[in-house]
Structure 1
Amino acid sequence: MSELNWKIGFEIELIAPKGFSRQDLAKIISQQHQGSVRRIFHPQSEPSHVPGTPLFHNLTLGFEVIDQQGNLIARCVDDLTLQDDLDRTQAPQAGWYRIVSDDMRLLHLIMCNADAAASLDEVLQPIASLFATNLEIGEGGMIRVADYIGNPIAIAAPLPGERERPCELITPPIDTNHYQRLESLLASARSLGFTIPLEGATHLHFDATPLCSTRVFANLVNLLWTHGENIKRLVGTNPKCRRLGKWDEDLLMLVNEPDFCELSWSEAREYLLKLQLTKYCDFNLKNFIHQITEKHTFEVRIFPAWIDSQPVIEAAALIEAILRYAIVAPKILPSSPLAWELESVQKFLTEIPLPADFRQIWLSHAASVGRG
């Protein structure tokens, strides 16, 4: 199988068998690499049903696996979109909790000042001290912090039933031996009986450095606007996946304005930032437009979850070829999204610079979809 030639981070959503957790996966990965496990906070957001508060922000418990040199091997974290496999009637597991706030800035403050290894009844004490108040103990084991006039800061509460079972397995950016390094992690998951969640997905983060050009960016937007729905059908996007969707047409209009490609990337970013793009879409451009230091990536969110490495690598090869096509093409014109036609999909797969073995795999997938 041909090698990938891009720095890529992998995020694969899994579910632990009953009685196990993402911590168990972190432990076995650590043992196989003679590393260590560190408990961490993992920030997430979820829709709120409280009027005037559209989102609740969470810190959930995750686990980093570190090698003997201090390098990250993997993270095993929660993903709040994984719900249908869980039995909510189960009692919370001892020692597992989450921290909730209506302000992400407060959660960042907590991440900087609280210890994820602390117990539920102790974890918010540093935050209470910062605000010169006391912890308030509520029903069901909840611990609340408010400021001196009663404005809420955060609540720590026992984790709902079986929420320790979801596991998003996250790798650091990998630039060589992608298959071997990913397979060593997924083999550990399979050995413990981890499976694919009903809403599961695989997210791929491609280093965005080669994409920071207005011409390349416009080409990429036009390519994916035209072929995006066919690509989703080709790869078998999970219909139960949450937080997917197309870009707003404002993006397409902006990148196809006559003078857009004459702008520097820095100038173009100023216009793109005004669009307030969301990360919750098929192809996430937000990370590198906003220049997020630790995640300067182009994220592809359309793939189903896999617990074997081969289809993950095949998916990465497909997107790498699309990115390289956007880089080398002089100018790709906008077009309306194409309906599925096997011949047009096959033509697209022969135009992008896919290695021969990967091209044959995807042409075979396309033929299977066409027969379906």
Structure 2
Amino acid sequence: MSELNWKIGFEIELMAPPGLSRQDLAEAIAQQHDGFVHRIFYPQSEPSHVPGTPLFHNLTLGFEVIDSEGNLIVRCVDDLTLQDDLDKTQKPQPEWYRIVSDDTRLLQLVICQADPKAASGEVLKPIADLFATKVEVGPGGMMRVADHTGNPIAIAALLPGERERPCELITPPIDSNHFQRLELLLNKARSLGFKIPCEGATHFHFDAVNLCSPRVFTNLVNILWTYGEILKKLVGTNPHCRRLGAWDEDLLTLINETGFCEMSWSDVQMGLAKLQLTKYCDFNLKNLIHQIPDKFTFEARIFPSWLHPEPLIESAALMEAILNYAVSAPKISPTVPLVWKLEFVQDFLKILPIAAHFRQVWLSRAASMA
């Protein structure tokens, strides 16, 4: 299979069979590489039904797989959007817990001070010491830390039943041998009986260095605005996938203003930051605007989950070709979003700079769908 040429991080959502967990997959991958597993806190957020608190922020238990030379192979972490495959009537597993707060800064404090290998009854003790208070024991094994005025700092609580089963595989950026490296991970998942979740998705994180130009950024947004819905149908976006959606039209207006393409990239970032874009959309641009260490990426979120590397590589190649088109083309003007028509899809695929093998894969798929 033809190789990819872009540095890409992969996020692949899977589900462990009943009785197994993401820790089991991490340990199996570690054994395959003569490595070891390191338990970590992994940040998550979910909508809240508490008035005045739109989001609850969580630290859930994840597992880093490290090879014998100390290099990260993959992270096996939770994803709170994966819900429908779980039997919530099952009892919580011992010492599978999460830490909850209404302030991400406090959870960053927990990450810096607490030990993810600690038991639920002990994990918040360093935080209580910092605030000169004590850990309060609540119902169901819940552990709570508050300050001297009673304001909550963080709560450690056992996970609901089967919450240990969701497993999002997060690779470090891969710049070569994409197929082989993904197959090593997915083959182990298949052998353990992991499945594709009902809400499963795959996210591609493309290194954003070559996208930091007003012209390229404008081209990319205009391409995806025009062909976004066609692409979602072509790649088979999971209709049960959560946290997708189109950009606000304010983005399209801003990038197509006169003079935008003559701005410096830092000025572009400042202007885009005022739009308060969300990451929970079809194509996440936030990491280009707000540079997070080790995550300066463009994220494509529309792809379904797979247990084999072939469709992963084919889909990454399609997205890579779109990025290359945005980089190489002169300024592309905006048009109204296109609806599905075979000729629209064929014309688009024919102008993309993509290897002949991959182009034929997608032309054949479009024709079969028509």
Q: TM-score range by the shorter chain?
A: over 0.9
**Is 1:203 aligned with 2:203?**
yes
In the TM superposition, what are the counterparts of 1:52-67 in structure 2 within 5 Å? 52-67=52-67
Q: CA deviation at 1:292?
A: 1.1
Residue 264 of structure 1 aligns with which residue? 264
Sequence identity percentage? 73
Taking the aligned partners of 1:264 and 1:350, their CA distance within structure 2 comes to 32
Using the TM superposition, name which of 44-53 and 288-297 deviates more: 288-297
Structure 1: distance between partners of 2:256 and 2:366? 30
In 1, Cα distance between equivalents of 2:43 and 2:359: 38
- Measured in 2, the distance between the counterparts of 1:113 and 1:365 equals 51
Written as runs of structure 1 = structure 2, the 5 A alignment for 1:183-198 is 183-198=183-198
The runs of 4+ residues in structure 1 deviating greater than 6 Å are none
**What is residue 107 of structure 2 aligned with on the other side?**
107
Give the gaps of 5 or more residues in structure 1. none
**How far does residue 160 in structure 1 lie from its aligned partner after superposition?**
0.5
TM-score (normalised: structure 2): 1.00
3-state SS, counterpart of residue 294 of structure 2: helix
Shift of 1:231: 0.2
- Provide the rounded CA distance (Å) in 2 between the counterparts of 1:151 and 1:268: 39
In 2, distance between residues paired with 1:69 and 1:288? 31
CA distance in 2, matches of 1:142, 1:275: 39
3-state SS in 1 of match to 2:99: strand
Matched residue, 2:217? 217
Match of 2:16 in 1: 16
Q: How many residues align?
A: 370
Deviations along 1:27-51, whole A, 9 cap, x unmatched?
0000000000000000000000000
Partner of 1:148: 148
Q: Which position in structure 1 is the counterpart of 2:137?
A: 137
Task: Give the 3-state SS of the residue equivalent to 1:23 in structure 2.
Answer: helix
Give how far 1:217 is off.
0.1
Using structure 1 for the length normalisation, give the TM-score: 0.99
- The match for 2:172 is 172
CA distance in 2, matches of 1:162, 1:313: 31
Match of 1:325 in 2: 325
Deviations along 1:271-319, whole A, 9 cap, x unmatched? Answer: 0010110000000000121111211000000000101000000000000
Q: How far is the alpha carbon of 1:351 from its aligned partner?
A: 0.3
Residue identity matched to 1:185: L
After superposition, the CA RMSD in angstroms is: 0.5
In 2, Cα distance between the equivalents of 1:70 and 1:271? 40
The Cα of 1:124 is off from its aligned counterpart by 0.2
CA separation in 2, counterparts of 1:204 and 1:166? 19
1:221 partner amino acid: V
**After superposition, where does 1:330-345 map in structure 2 within 5 Å?**
330-345=330-345
What is the CA–CA distance in structure 1 between the aligned matches of 2:178 and 2:2, rounded to whole Å?
A: 11
CA distance in 2, matches of 1:164, 1:369: 37
Give the corresponding residue for 2:68.
68
User: Aligned-pair distance for 1:368?
Assistant: 1.6
Aligned equivalent of 2:230:
230
Instruction: Measure the CA separation in 1 of the matches of 2:305 and 2:330.
Output: 34
Q: 1:19-72, CA deviations, whole angstroms, 9 ceiling, x for partnerless residues?
A: 000000000000000000000000000000000000000000000000112110
1-structure distance, mates of 2:170, 2:24: 15
Partner of residue 275, structure 1: 275
Equivalent-residue separation in structure 2 for 1:164 and 1:289 (angstroms): 33
- Match for residue 316 of structure 2? 316
Q: Which residue identity does 2:188 align to in structure 1?
A: S
Matched, 1:89 2:77: no
Q: Secondary structure at the match of 2:153?
A: strand
Kindly state the Cα deviation for residue 326 of structure 1 after the two structures are TM-superposed.
Answer: 0.2
The residue type equivalent to 1:205 in the other structure is: H
Runs of at least 5 residues in structure 2 that lack an aligned partner in the other structure: none
Matches within 5 A, 1:19-34: 19-34=19-34
Report the alpha carbon displacement of residue 107 of structure 1 after superposing the two structures with TM: 0.4
Structure 2 counterpart SS, 1:293 = coil
Secondary structure of the equivalent of 2:229?
helix
Provide the C-alpha distance between the structure 2 equivalents of 1:242 and 1:358, rounded to a whole number of angstroms. Answer: 28
Tell me the CA shift for residue 267 of structure 1.
1.0
User: What CA distance in whole angstroms lies between the structure 1 residues aligned with 2:121 and 2:95?
Assistant: 10
2:44 is matched with which residue?
A: 44
Matched letter for residue 235 of structure 1: V
Are 1:252 and 2:252 an aligned pair?
yes
Specify the code of the residue in structure 2 equivalent to 1:79: D
Give the aligned residue type for 1:110: V
